[in-house]
Amino acid sequence: MLTRIDHIGIACHDLDTTVEFYRATYGFEVFHTEVNEEQGVREAMLKINETSDGGASYLQLLEPTREDSAVGKWLAKNGEGVHHIAFGTADVDGDAADIRDKGVRVLYEEPRTGSMGSRITFLHPKDCHGVLTELVTSAAVESPEH
């Protein structure tokens, strides 16, 4: 069962400049940063709030590390802005299977490792009214790591 909005992914050309905008404008601070070589992105997670299920909601700022990455291609085509929405779940495998059974294409056969050690998969935007949708099961322990 989907329990919350885990994060909203925002593609950007310059991660540091974008982080500074969200810090200066809204007061959001960086909770976690990492480079995901597999996905070809450098990212910053800005925590917005805690949630009732023990998780949190974030803005995920994504800067491509290479032009041929999914985010790099998307950014070249669409420019900066909202890239995807992610819903939190305790069971990414089960929820992905349930959603697949409803006719929605799940992009990964098996969930992959995402931000902060989470398990993730994506749903095809053409099956979700134009919205790239991610399902996320958070890692057991969330801690600030920069």
Q: Which residues are identified as catalytic?
A: 7, 43, 60, 84, 134
Q: What is the DSSP letter of 29?
A: -
CA dihedral sign of residues 98, 104, 110, 112:
negative
Q: In this structure, what token pair is assigned to residue 46?
A: 């800005």
Please report where in the chains the tokens 């974030």 appear, as a residue: 58
What's the rounded Cα separation, in Å, for the pair 41 and 73?
12
Half-sphere exposure of 85 (CA within 13 A, CB side): 9
Q: In this structure, what token pair is assigned to residue 87?
A: 């819903």
Contact criterion met (CB below 8 Å) for 116 and 3: no
What's the rounded Cα separation, in Å, for the pair 8 and 87?
9
